[in-house]
Chain A
């Protein structure tokens, strides 16, 4: 297994792990914007630049997708790397100067302002990180939104800028958006869920008894289509009394929460709410590196290699 010496801390990582993986393991924080463990790294925002030692010369590379294939030496805190990341953040702040989440991230990086004027028009502070489109494509398999336009005209949009037919109103795009551009809006009167600003609306499933809003209808239909009853598990559980059945469920939930906390998907306080007793997990750095993203398809993400817990137990 190759060794990454990152800011003088040596960690071993599996071959083809990224520098970001190594940094997490070493407890070193590298800012990211367009990175999310649920989708393949995009390396678009260019915020995670680090300096790679090439023996004689150095190269700035993006940590989120640089594959480690042999022993390498990386500097996160070198002047050149710090200045590079600062430069990128200053350009981003110029693009969306009013964005509080962006300012918060900048603050963590030690960047308090930007020398550049605002010269780009944005769609509600959108920084074009691409997480929404990536999640819709890679996780949902729907690609209801994508990038339209080239260069300065680049925007996130639905096909032909019309309400997307493939959108199921799940709100995953809104959940991963780091700057709050995408909002899920509820329209009570029509019983509809809108994904703003894409103008896409889906019908909401209401409780058949009390009329409360549950979830979007297409999401429900997807779930029904994909739901599988684990009969093996059912046969085991049905032999437990209700009290013990609840206990077994709680233990499983605790396992999931612990794994999620270790992998950095949820903060430890949140995960602790599911733990039966005060148990401290081995949580690595990086938690809070992004706004706490909710658990999206825990089974899929937990079994991804290089993510800490390789538990193949799968679905909770």
Chain B
């Protein structure tokens, strides 16, 4: 059910009056069911849950229950998530058969269905509300504050929780210069990876000469494992719009673009809907809120290129040219889109702006560390127990994020490293778990904050393979324009392929380091310049794994096929004979009731026996 605001606000007072009305409406509503339809939960069938709840409402004929679609709560490991109001009862891992029970017990009866509540694995305690769950307790949600609360396709919902109140405040009581100063004073730094001071960028664009000026939202989010921007665009698109309108006001722009990667269809859909509703409401377009300020925005979808997340490549793509970066000796704030002054910021950066204007730069600057203010949304993924999106103040330690919030490594395996910053970042080993997470600290450790991807790795992860994985990704995504990136990545990948296949040679590491230096110094854009980081950081902290691969043809993590052996665990073997039957070279011998044995001479290390054994009696050694 899409709620469409039909009225147009002709002045700030109009908007505020409507806000009061909507707030009252929300308070007085009887029970409400909020079903998450963010991409993660939708992939687990939450849309069907939504339909079933709607059906239940129709059938009971009571007419006072409401069912809403909401955006990503962030606790993706436990999806599909359903929250029931009042009481904010937080149900997780909801399946179709559960709908009837939830509706009967909780919605109609006001009782809680215990088994669907989150249960703390350590204490066994059940959490009724999200705030009681360790995953959420340590988080500080500013950007994701209303994710999971509001229907992203309803501007009314957005307004009821304070959407566009910062815009109203700015247009009614602040000059563009004052808005800019607030952002400068807040210390906000770009959330897309560069960490450039946002206020300074806005200031440069404002002072640049040329008309018209453009503001762009970079929603190309290409880092593998990163989905922060996706959830913001899907779950609270109006926050992004509001931020952009405020930025346009401060800079003196009237035209904006949101560049969304094509692989985010739900984000595109919700943004489109949000724009249509904002225009109708007089919050976008000509004469915003009757103040005479005009700003409109257009969505452009990407064509499937990671490199288009680079600002100059993105602008080339917007212009209809191939998405290839150019030199930044002349900055885009002076000569950007169509050679005009352009201010490009990441989606998460824009989403921070309304809060800064509403609550003040002092408040924002009180959160975080000295040089990294505010909060950051991280996508905590990989071998972690609680996969999902977390928003924490800058300065929280890796240990807190991964263990307190993330619940530690899955399956009780040992922690080995955490990879941050995507293909431009690096791996941080266990001894730095107490390092505070902020822009400069992570860079000191040889990694970087990047856009917020945090991939947790266990003892079963081969770090050489991690480097190979990222290099392969970059090689596919390199635009190919400049020699060092195109040729250098090819050279590095060939070496790493050899190493992970047991064909490493002495001198390989020196060669990798040599190419890394060339890339860093001569590549045209940041993709190329930082491409060697995964290799360099794994070399720095896990050199012994490289040495084992090259000198002993052995993979210590037992991940690279052919570089470790298989052995049958006598005690666990039930002599069922399955492995013996499937071995393609008849390397396994054994009879009934006698533990089977692998002849290591004959074994080709194909791994079939390991896959087939029904008792997990075959070990990697």
Residues of A within 8 A of B (CB): 43-47, 49, 60-62, 65-67, 80, 83-84, 87-88, 91-92, 94-95, 115-117, 119-120, 127-128, 130, 147, 149-154
Contacts and interface: CB of A to CB of B under 8 A. Distances in A.
A218 B118 CA distance: 75
A44 B482 CA distance: 5
Given A43-B524, A46-B483, A119-B490, A88 B329 contact: no
Most buried by A among B479, B488, B522, B523: B522
A92 to B, nearest CB: 6
In order of increasing CB-CB distance, the 3 nearest A-B pairs are A154-B480, A87-B518, A151-B478
A91 B329 contact: no
B487 interface: yes
A60 B524 CA distance: 11
Given A61-B329, A67-B330, A80-B521, A150 B484 contact: no
A151 B479 contact: yes
Given A43-B327, A147-B322, A152-B490, A87 B478 contact: no
Nearest to A64: B327
A149 B487 CA distance: 15
Contact of B487 (A91, A147, A153): A91
Given A44-B524, A147-B322, A150-B305, A65 B477 contact: no
A45 B483 contact: yes
A84 B487 contact: no
Contact of B483 (A65, A83, A92, A150): A92
A43 B327 CA distance: 8
Contact of B327 (A65, A117, A128): A65
A102 to B, nearest CB: 12
B476 interface: yes
A73 B522 CA distance: 19
Contacts of B477: 150-151
B483 A44 contact: yes
A117 B330 CA distance: 36
Given A46-B523, A120-B490, A150-B305, A88 B327 contact: no
B7 interface: no
Contacts of A80: 521
A49 B517 CA distance: 14
B478 A46 contact: no
Given A61-B329, A66-B327, A151-B475, 20 more contacts: A43-B482, A44-B481, A44-B482, A46-B522, A65-B327, A80-B521, A88-B483, A88-B522, A91-B487, A91-B491, A117-B491, A119-B490, A119-B494, A128-B486, A130-B481, A150-B477, A150-B478, A153-B480, A154-B479, A154-B481
B511 interface: yes
B480 A91 contact: no
A60 B494 contact: no
24 contacts: A43-B327, A46-B483, A46-B522, A49-B521, A60-B521, A62-B327, A65-B329, A66-B329, A87-B521, A87-B522, A88-B484, A91-B491, A94-B487, A95-B483, A119-B494, A149-B480, A150-B307, A150-B479, A151-B475, A151-B477, A151-B479, A151-B486, A152-B486, A154-B480
Contact of B517 (A47, A61, A87, A151): A87
B480 A117 contact: no
Interface in B309-328: 322, 326-327
A91 B524 contact: no
Contacts of B524: 43-44, 46
A151 B327 CA distance: 18
Most buried by B among A67, A116, A130: A116
Contacts of B475: 151-152
Nearest to A47: B483
Interface of B: 305, 307, 322, 326-327, 329-330, 475-484, 486-488, 490-491, 494, 511, 514-515, 517-518, 521-524
A87 B322 CA distance: 27
Most buried by A among B487, B488, B491: B487
A147 B330 CA distance: 24
Given A151-B475, A151-B480, A84 B518 contact: yes
A188 B128 CA distance: 87
B523 to A, nearest CB: 7
A66 B328 CA distance: 9
Contacts of B522: 46, 49, 60, 84, 87-88
A174 B484 CA distance: 25
A114 B321 CA distance: 35
B209 to A, nearest CB: 14
B329 A67 contact: yes
Contacts of A65: 327, 329
Contacts of B483: 44-47, 88, 91-92, 95, 127-128
B409 to A, nearest CB: 34
A46 to B, nearest CB: 5
A128 B518 contact: no
Contact of B494 (A43, A87, A117, A130): A117
A254 to B, nearest CB: 39
B343 to A, nearest CB: 21
Nearest to A87: B518
B174 to A, nearest CB: 34
A119 B491 contact: yes
B508 to A, nearest CB: 12
A64 to B, nearest CB: 10
A263 to B, nearest CB: 24
A40 to B, nearest CB: 11
A147 B487 CA distance: 17
A151 B329 contact: no
B518 A91 contact: yes
A152 B327 contact: no
B329 A154 contact: no
Contact of A128 (B480, B511, B514): B480
Contact of B484 (A67, A87, A147): A87
A152 B478 contact: yes
Nearest to A60: B521
Contacts of B491: 91, 94, 116-117, 119
A66 B478 CA distance: 23
